Amino acid sequence: EVQLVESGGGLVQPGGSLKLSCVASGFTFRDYWMNWVRQAPGKTMEWIGDIKPDGSNTNYAPSVKNRFTISRDNAKSILYLQMSNMRADYTATYYCVRGADNNYWFAYWGQGTLVTVSS
């Protein structure tokens, strides 16, 4: 069974930093594109970025480019999201998501971790 378990969410002040983790199990982690997708309260989803199976390439949404960094540890099956210089509108539930077929759609989602940016 595919499982994606996020952690690291919480309250952070504007301008602060936070690092999220996602532990994957039930599949061969190193074979898949991985993504982070966020959902602000009561809003739709926003794709934040992705990372190639071997970690050699990342892509980011314009809204978070130069603020967020996605990385992965294939030996430990862990996906990371480093967030810096955070803003209030980054308040959202952050989902770890496994891509499908060259990452054209999102096959499996974690349960999400809530990040609140507030002073």
Partner 1 sequence: DTVLTQSPALAVSPGERVTISCRASESVSTLMHWYQQKPGQQPTLLIYLASNLESGVPARFSGSGSGTDFTLTIDPVEADDTATYYCQQSWNDPWTFGGGTKLELK
| Minimum distance, C-beta of residue 6 to partner 1, in the bound complex (Å) | 10
Nearer to partner 1, 59 or 77 (CB): 59
> Which residues inside 31-50 make contact with partner 1, applying CB under 8 A?
44-47
Among 52, 53, 58, 61, binds partner 1 (CB under 8 A): 61
Is residue 59 part of the contact set for partner 1 (CB under 8 A)? yes
**Residues listed for the chain:** 119
Q: At a CB cut-off of 8 Å and minimum separation 6, what does 74 contact?
A: 29, 30, 53, 54, 55
User: What is the rounded distance in angstroms from the CA atom of residue 83 to the CA atom of residue 86?
Assistant: 7
Q: What is the binding site for partner 1 (CB under 8 A)? A: 44-47, 59, 61-62, 95, 100-101, 103-112
